[in-house]
Amino acid sequence: MELVEKQYSKDGTIKYAFAVPVRQSLVFSFPERKELIETAFLDLGRRRDDKPRYVLCLSTMAGCIMQCIHCENQFNGFYRVLTPEEINKQIDSALMEDRNLEKVIREGRVEHAFMGMGEPLYCDNSVRAVQKHKPAVQDTRFAFSTIGGKGYIDRLTKRDFPFPIRLEISLHFPNDNLRRQAMHVNTLATYSTELTISRALDDAERFMDKFPGNVALNYALIDGLNNAEQDAQEIARTLKGRRGFYVKVMEINQTSALTGSWRGERWAFGINPGERGPFYETPEEFREVLEKYGVEATTFRSLGKDIDAACGKMALR
């Protein structure tokens, strides 16, 4: 695994591309070749709950087992899971570039976030990477962002870690029907999963019983598909009586699968255009609607958009 490319954003984000060996087919014995996976170093400034300012956004797969409509990896296939050593190599290599280690040491803390390419809890490799990690600073933390498939979050709950960890769930849709249509398993992975919101929330509550802190439910607004008032109401009903969750609302970052608004194509998801609305196009507007229905919510601004390092834009190349 070698660093082959760097890109710099005007907002200070730096993206690194690493070449990793893959095979062209999971079935046929084709010669090994290289694909580029991506890692990003972010300066998020002051964050919710006083989280670390500097974040390394890490990839855990070459490609992804999922085919989510709001992710650039939807059409890029899935080759393999990265090894624990390759995951930690991203950290070590990125920190040694562009005086990043100096920044982290000066700040005295850092967060390594499994929010790049791949589903980090598909298997134990990311968990083992955390357990094997040798930190650059004492206050080192890890964050896992998962779709919350059956048994995924339990991979964390059943383990002990030498560092603080926190959890985010890629919710993005208000109900199981929409979520399963928009976030489905890549057929190349030859794997099936059960995407059930209630099960993911149950698993997350057990996680919070063991690890302190709240769980974020990530929600990227897709115009006409998940940003209606009814969607906010449905989220409120789902979270009623549950503890420790907040919705993190963000803008959708344009990908190959989202070349235009879904406003005129809601029928593709079984939605009658005449039965929905009003729609809220900005994260701030949708956050206010969620709060009106009693849901704790915040907004998030993606960085690195000009170098395709923003949420959903890091992809196999």
- The token duo for 261 is 């608004």
Which CATH architecture group holds 2-307? Alpha-Beta Barrel (3.20)
Identity of the amino acid at 183: M
- The token duo for 103 is 């920044």
Determine whether 226 is exposed, middle or buried from the number of CB atoms within 10 Å of its CB (0-12, 13-18, 19+).
Answer: buried
Alpha carbons 180 and 222: distance in angstroms, whole number: 15
Q: Point out the residues of the chain with pLDDT beneath 50.
A: 187-192, 260-264, 267
- The token duo for 44 is 């998020």
Tokens 């009623």 found at: 240
* Each residue's pLDDT tens digit, 161-212: 999 999 999 999 999 888 887 887 654 444 445 678 999 999 999 999 999 9
* Each residue's pLDDT tens digit, 221-260: 988 889 999 999 999 999 999 999 999 999 887 665 555 4
Alpha carbons 315 and 63: distance in angstroms, whole number: 7
